[in-house]
Amino acid sequence: MTATLELNSCRKKLEAALGQNVAASNGRELYFTQMKNWFRKRITKEAFDQEARQLLLAQHTHLHNEFLLAILNKCQTLASFAGTSAHNNSHGLIPQPQAHQLGSNSAVLVSAAAGSGVVSSRPRARSGSSAEPASGEALNSFAPAHSPRLRRGNIKAQSKTSHRVCFEQRFQAVNVNSVAPNLDELDLYEEERELGFCARQSPALPDRSLVHGRMLLTAWEEGLDSVEDDTVRLVEEAVGRLLRQLIWALVMQRNGYRLRDGCFPHTVGVGVPNSFLINSQNRMDSAQGGLSDVTDTIDPHLLGKSTEMDPLVPAGRPLVYHAERQALMDLACSYTGYAPISRLEPSLYRPRADRTPISVLELLAVITRNRSLIPTHSVYALNVERVIARMAQVTSTGVTGGARKPLALSSPGPTNLLLEQHAKFVVKYSENKDDYEFVMSEFLRINGVYWSLTALDLMYAKEELHKEEIMSFVLQCYDSESGGFSPAHRHDPHILYTLSAIQVAATFDAMDRLDQESVVRYIQKLQNKDGSFSGDIMGEVDNRFSFCAVSCLALLKRLDAIDVDNAVNYICSCLNFDGGFGSQAGSESHAGLIFCCIGVLSITQQLHRIDADIIGHWLCQRQLPCGGLNGRPEKLPDVCYSWWVLSSLAMIGRLHWIDSKDISQFILASQDEETGGISDRPGDLPDPFHTLFGLAGISLLGNTKLKTVNPVFCMAQEVLDRMGIKPQLLET
């Protein structure tokens, strides 16, 4: 209580002094802003002091130091009650954090070889105690470990001899980029003395004092006087648990593969295929020589040992994952290996000299396998993914170690839309029927007709194709027995090709030439009881097929023929926690599937059932520094996603969130100046598929040289207006 009163008194005096400086009218806001930057290690302590002197009059500069001393005293007081020793350096401004368990202070796990200066787990007394070690005391002493224990308001260090031979562990506050630096005893001790409250300029995990200080600052910014101690302890516990699990997972990621070949029959982090046939813990126990030094430290419940006195009580089945994880943790904490085990390769268990820092890629792999480590997906999506994307741009080496092309555009390429060349390319592509590519793409023929026709229509060149010849081909693809359309004559019908056939007929204003009732019955039969749609009689379920079915019936004006509510409910059941949609419930979010699902909701006037901001944010994250868009994280950009992403953003009224200039430049750079056409990315061969979706994406961005495209059906807007079809579009 005394520390709190002293802190509030110093803060009020400082705020009053900040208000007296006429040159800095907003001195209080500037002071706390700089203090926040200091907490976040964006500026040094010296820079913060200099900024404070500029905001205060000369006679008031002492209030700055008094305020900082009060903060440190308050934070140190609470930390000492939590079992953390602290003492000040010669200047009296930097308390020294000591941590004996993960989460109590800035800490990373240190695993070192014998004789490398590992500090024993002996607790130090608070400032002024005779238990403080002298500067010359050997810090790699392997004396019996002491474990601090909290006893109703006081701390008692009780001696307990370790039952593990040659085992030492210590959570030591160090730079996380070096993990376990090679320091001699005196250097290590001196460095520890200088590691204090916000004194570290390199990235480090938060300590108790830092967490408490940042909470106090946040409270003052919100107009509160202080933060309750119980609130601080609750936050510290949450941070500690998160860091403990994160570092535990990283340790498993790094050290698990050494154990896998010798003991574990499967990769660490991957579920056991059959726990009744493969039991990692039993295999470890059966190893020659045993791993008693490791397994004895595991909770008996994890090993299936009965804790009851009655030997007839059956033991529970071992939890393989937990036992394996605990064994890996103990091995990583040990400073000596288990070379005497003859069955295992001794080199795997000798003292390791692996001092490489933990990389961002390792952190990403851990977070990917353990999503519970991150409180919300937005943290991962907006930070980790962005870091990895930036790393992919500046290096020519991919995540997997193979060569990867730089994603940045090597040259700007064409800067104008080559409409004349594109029209010639599309027409020529459809006329070269003896071409190898034309023959090999027969299974996509009717889709190719739709791509070519719509691309020409957007370029005001629809007349370049012969309407009767195309409609004759479409009708040849009709399967009178089922009512659907196939990709080419004598192929099997499918909902994908049925939509393309209807879109071609709608563009030519020839809907009356279709047997509409037979097509409706065909689509009706494809709807399943859960509301999903199969693509054909084979029964494959995919949200693409739901979009195709609903789009077909919307163009035929027969949405009443299916259970619309059930179809919409199924789409909504596929919504992922990141705001996106996959091919089915639980599938990974993908830009193409997001377009399909949002399209269904748009046609059925149900866009209110999604959070447009969350899904819009996910879609905007698909844009890479080169300007192009990918379909999901860690993939290369592709022109076709210019349509899937931009059209989805247009439907939810968030198209202005994207960088239209960069994406336009990427599409234009993907044009082929010699033959015409647009490819998937600059430098590749063009095709009608990417030509259509590149043009459609540019049309969505407002290019006046093209017809306006409808973001739902990917057809000229004038066609939908003529048919009186108005899907729901959210306003900007």
Q: Which of 14-23, 51-60, 106-115 has the highest mean pLDDT?
A: 51-60
Q: 533 — phi, psi (to 5°)? A: -125, 140
pLDDT exceeds cutoff 70 at 310: no
- Interval 249-263 mean pLDDT: 50
**Of 63-77, 188-202, 228-242, 392-406, which gets the smallest average pLDDT?**
392-406
- Paired with 157 in beta bridges are 148
**pTM for the whole structure:** 0.50
Q: Which residue has the higher pLDDT, 639 or 162?
A: 639
Between residues 435 and 115, the one the model is more confident about: 435
Q: Is the pLDDT of residue 21 over 60?
A: yes
Q: What is the pLDDT of residue 1?
A: 66
309 pLDDT higher than 90: no
* Contact (CB, 8 A) for 485 and 535: no
More confident residue, 533 or 440: 533
Average pLDDT over the chain, rounded to an integer: 70
For the ranges 72-81, 412-421, 522-531, 546-555, which has the lowest average pLDDT? 72-81
Q: Is the pLDDT of residue 487 over 70?
A: yes
Convert the pLDDT of each residue in 287-298 to its tens digit.
333 333 333 444
* More confident position, 97 or 726: 726
The one-letter code for the residue type at 422 is H
d(CA 109, CA 107): 7
Please give the distance of CA 589 from its chain centroid, rounded to a whole number.
12
Q: What is the predicted pLDDT for the residue at 551?
A: 96
Percent of the chain with pLDDT over 90: 32
Contact 425, 679 (CB under 8 A): no
Residue 485 pLDDT greater than 60, yes or no: yes
Q: Is the pLDDT at 107 greater than 60, yes or no? A: no
Q: Tokens 């509301």 sit at which residue?
A: 531
Whether pLDDT at 526 is above 90: yes
pLDDT of residue 173: 41
291 vs 536, more confident? 536
Residue 714: pLDDT band by 50, 70, 90 thresholds?
very high
pLDDT band for position 305 (cuts 50, 70, 90): very low
Least confident of 278-292, 329-343, 461-475: 278-292
Binned at pLDDT 50, 70 and 90, residue 277 comes out as: very low
The string over 625-650, giving b where at least 16 C-beta atoms fall within 10 Å of a residue's C-beta and e elsewhere, is ebbbbbbbbeeebbbbbbbbbbbbbb
Give dist(CA 48, CA 37) in Å, integer: 8
Minimum mean pLDDT among 20-34, 49-63, 130-144, 306-320: which range?
A: 130-144
Task: Answer yes or no: is pLDDT of 79 > 80.
Answer: no
Range of lowest pLDDT (39-43, 277-281, 508-512): 277-281
Bridge partners (DSSP) listed for residue 158: 147
Q: Tell me the C-alpha distance between 330 and 292, whole Å.
A: 11
More confident position, 304 or 568: 568
Residue 430, pLDDT > 90, answer no
Total Cβ atoms within 10 A of residue 501: 27
CA dihedral 640→643→648→651, nearest 10 degrees, is: -170
Neighbours of 562 (CB within 10 A): 20
Q: Is 396 left (phi over 0), alpha (psi -120 to 50) or beta?
A: alpha
- Residue 204 Cα distances to 174, 201, 522, angstroms: 7, 8, 62
Out of 164-178, 311-325, 453-467, 620-634, pick the least confident: 164-178
Worst-scoring range by mean pLDDT, 76-85, 512-521, 582-591? 76-85
Q: What is the pLDDT of residue 368?
A: 59
Q: Which of 460, 425, 420 is nearest to 707 (CA)?
A: 460
Contacts of 637 (CB under 8 A, 6+ apart): 407, 624, 626, 627, 628, 629, 630, 666, 681
Q: Which is more confident, 215 or 111?
A: 215
Give the tens place of pLDDT for each residue, 602-643.
Answer: 999 999 999 998 999 999 989 998 889 999 988 889 999 999
Q: Picking from 364-378, 385-399, 510-524, 552-566, which range would have the lowest pLDDT averaged per residue? A: 385-399
- Give the start-to-end residue ranges of the domains of the chain: 2-81, 246-375, 376-417+611-732, 529-603
Percent over 70 (pLDDT), the chain: 56
Query: CB atoms < 10 A from the CB of 732, how many?
Result: 10
- Per-residue pLDDT at 530: 92
| Dihedral over alpha carbons 374, 377, 382, 388 (to 10 degrees) | 70
Does residue 384 carry a pLDDT above 80? no
- The dotted CATH code for 376-417+611-732 is 1.50.10.20
pLDDT recorded at residue 654: 93
Exposed / middle / buried, residue 13 (Cβ in 10 Å: 0-12, 13-18, 19+): middle
Do 672 and 562 contact (CB within 8 A), yes or no? no
Q: Which stretch, 85-94, 157-166, 395-404, has highest mean pLDDT?
A: 157-166
Most confident region among 80-89, 299-308, 485-494 by mean pLDDT? 485-494
User: Contact 716/475 with Cβ under 8 angstroms?
Assistant: no
> What is the average pLDDT across 398-427?
65
Q: Could you give the residue ranges of the DSSP H alpha helices within 89-228? A: 185-194, 208-221
Per the model's pLDDT, the better-predicted residue between 242 and 530 turns out to be: 530
Contact 549, 533 (CB under 8 A): yes
